[in-house]
Amino acid sequence: MRLLRYFLPWQVIVRPRGAAVGEVEIKNRKSGGRLTLPVAQALAKLGAKA
């Protein structure tokens, strides 16, 4: 699992309550920091296109 920190630095967590209001949680695998953001903002932070 340690290699995931380097190759997949972010983990996206979708919880039922967050999904109901259009939010996801993103977690930095290296630091352990977490952010709860609207889906569009989370995609922008991760550099993905909607």
pLDDT for position 33: 97
CA separation (Å) from 43 to 4, 20, 38?
A: 19, 17, 9
pTM: 0.76
pLDDT for position 8: 84
Q: List, in order of start, the domains of the chain with CATH numbers.
A: 4-46 (3.40.50.800)
Angle at 17 between CA 20 and CA 6, to 5 degrees: 105
pLDDT for position 41: 95
> Per-residue pLDDT for the chain (50 aa), expressed as one digit of tens each?
566 666 788 999 999 999 999 999 999 988 999 999 999 999 999 887 76
